[in-house]
Structure 1
Amino acid sequence: MTALREYDRLEASGLWRSAPDAQRSEVVVSIGDATLIISDMRDRALTHWSIPAITRSNPGHRPAIYHPDGDPGETLELAASEAAMIDAIEKLRAAVERRRPHPGRLRLMVLLGSMLMAVAVAVFWLPNAVRDHAVSVVPAVKRAEIGRALLMHMLPVTGPPCGAAGGPAALSKLATRLPSEDRTADLMVVRSGVANATTLPGGTIVLNRSLVEDHEEPDVIAGYIIAERLRARAHDPLDRLLEHAGLIATFRLMTTGHPGETALARYAEHLLTAPPAPLDDEVLLDGFRAWSVRSTPYAYARDISGETVLPLIEADPFGGAAPEAILSDGDWLRLQGICGS
């Protein structure tokens, strides 16, 4: 290390002691190349201290007392009046300290980095990984059980499922006409609470009575069922529940087979108030084509003006030819009366 040029001619007087039992003597202190030169009053060098190896025994206090690193018995005392020399030595020591490797600091940075990585894993990766695993291992029977438990929390708002004479049989025929991928998902009509339609874990679709009572043809309710089938295909209803419920509920499901009543109650409230996830028009049209249903009645049910659903009207896959009937006229009339008067 080369001393800073501004200190080339800096000198100060001090008291030096070569050993603990030696007499202190007055000396002249100057700064050389990487050393502190201690000379007697006749300008004869008594010793050279390496600046990187200088230690201060009383930081922040004056007179300042220094000694070579590892040898506290040899000391140099600089009075408060020698502030320029003290400041110079402190500045050089600080410069050396900045250049010196700090293994402890490196270990601390590594530890902090590891902790931050662990936190990032816990926050961003772990919940998704645990949820994905849970969704992949929960069997269909357990999904249906969770769906029924969720429905119990919705019933105070929706009322019990409608079941007037002939209605359930017609609803069963509609489910057969518009089957889910595993052909086990059920349909259910309720009096209120649900905006139009929503899907429970296990695949059951809960439908508002307005879809059968306020429209002249079954194509409308069929369209809402198709949209829900497509949403369930894009985002598993159980995964949606666990995503909303959080990591603790997911762990509880994996360990006890149930996400917890509190989690279900909160999700039931969310399910009844949150808007449905949007679907791309092309995805919807492919769904109408696959289930052989006209998209135009559904489009006008969503927007009577047709302005916001124009692609579903213009690209209706059965705009020029009638597909297979969704329900017979008799079954449609029975379905319209499923909730009674």
Structure 2
Amino acid sequence: MTALPQYERLEAPGLWRETPQAQRREVIVSFGDTSLVISDDRSTAALAHWSMAAVVRRNPGTRPAIFAPSEDPGEELEISDETMVEAIEKVQALIEAHRPHPGRLRRIGWVSTAVVALLGVALWLPGALIDQAARVLPAPKREEIGRLVLADLERSTGVACHSSAGDAALEALAERLGDMVQIAVLPHQLGGARILPGGVVALGQDTLIGLDTPEVAAGAILVARQAQAGEAPVHALLAWSGAVSALRLLVTGDLPAREIAGYGAALIATPVALPQRPAETDALLAAFKAAGVASTPYAYALDPTGETVLSLIEADPFRGAPAPEPVLPDAQWLALKDICS
């Protein structure tokens, strides 16, 4: 039933007229299953059944209350009984609450869609900004940023070592290995090398001591380069500094040094690891071969026993044979070893 249980037997007097021109007559008003029943007060014969879902109040907030079966002019029912008026309005509120609301559902759908879209944008946009900035950045700007990162590294390691003969040896090493515009030797143990944006390379002094061969320094650079083969150095930097930095770089073409501050320390704290999977090791050995550098000297520099680096020793592309050309002539190698003296 539509009527609430407490109103099933409720009746009240009222004044009803069938048309605007008709005389009002006294009636009894009661609840049916889904309607308001209007009966003659003497014979109790039903005069009209009004659908509760369609009943409207003509004068909200005014007494006596006047109801009609629809918005159209015609029948009217005047009720003074407060309990009956309250009952009609409660039953109508219950009906309204259970009625479908397409507009409301549509709004909820739009809001839900908008929230999902915003969440998607929030998750997608930072990565997209970083990808785009790393992709469109011109080579000169990459090199400039690489030198800024090198300067930030120097705050943790000390200023890069220089000497006229040593700098010439570094230029020769960069040319020998290719894809580099600058190699800087830092007076600090980096555990190898770090590849910076724009072809700038930071090389730890630890690669120049130990085994008396430039293959160790060259191997450290090749390993660092291979370790970052899946991600451009500038992309790694922007991923660290964040989407705001990437957006600023896209809009202004500039990346202030303050937004790089601390990245050098993060690079030092992140060791360059040798590949663990066979396919990655094969790719590294292929890089040694392409560069014309033997991998055995670098392997023994990492582990003098050779036990943990057997793959680099046993599969050395130049095992038992000299490389096509030395990494550096002896004189340049000696100059490079002494660059931090």
**TM tier, smaller:** 0.7 to 0.9
CA distance in 1: counterparts of 2:53 and 2:148, whole angstroms: 73
Give the structure 1 partner of residue 184 of structure 2.
188
TM-score, length basis structure 2: 0.78
Deviation at 1:89, TM superposition (A): 6.2
Q: Deviations over 1:151-207 (max 9, x none)?
A: 222222221211235222222222222112xxx422110102734311221111101
Give the structure 2 partner of residue 282 of structure 1.
282
Give the structure 1 partner of residue 154 of structure 2.
155
Stretches of structure 1 lacking an aligned partner (at least 5 in a row): none
CA distance in 2: counterparts of 1:215 and 1:57, whole angstroms: 101
Give 1:169's aligned amino acid.
Answer: A
Moved more, 77-86 or 221-230: 77-86
Give 2:101's aligned amino acid.
Answer: P
SS at match of 2:328: coil
CA distance in 2: counterparts of 1:293 and 1:137, whole angstroms: 33
Q: Deviations over 1:78-131 (max 9, x none)?
A: 766999998776554433x2xx2321441342144134314422x233233333
Give the structure 1 partner of residue 31 of structure 2.
30
Give the structure 2 partner of residue 53 of structure 1.
54
Corresponding position: 1:12 with 2:10? yes
SS at match of 2:53: helix
Q: Deviations over 1:195-236 (max 9, x none)?
A: 431122111110110110233322222111112222454211
Matches within 5 A, 1:159-178: 159-164=158-163, 166-178=165-177
Change (3 A) 1:315 1:26: farther
TM-score, length basis structure 1: 0.78
Count of aligned positions = 325
CA distance in 1: counterparts of 2:56 and 2:306, whole angstroms: 84
Match of 1:273 among 244, 269, 290: 269
CA distance in 1: counterparts of 2:210 and 2:56, whole angstroms: 90
- Contact kept in structure 2, 1:227 and 1:284, CA below 8 Å: yes
Deviation at 1:328, TM superposition (A): 3.0
- Contact kept in structure 1, 2:13 and 2:79, CA below 8 Å: yes
Change (3 A) 1:195 1:30: same
Stretches of structure 2 lacking an aligned partner (at least 5 in a row): none
Change (3 A) 1:326 1:193: closer
Give 2:203's aligned amino acid.
Answer: L
* Pairwise CA RMSD: 3.8
SS at match of 1:250: helix
Deviation at 1:269, TM superposition (A): 3.2
- Contact kept in structure 2, 1:30 and 1:37, CA below 8 Å: yes
- Contact kept in structure 1, 2:219 and 2:298, CA below 8 Å: yes
Matches within 5 A, 1:325-336: 325-336=326-337
- Contact kept in structure 2, 1:11 and 1:28, CA below 8 Å: no
Give the structure 2 partner of residue 114 of structure 1.
114
Give the structure 2 partner of residue 216 of structure 1.
212
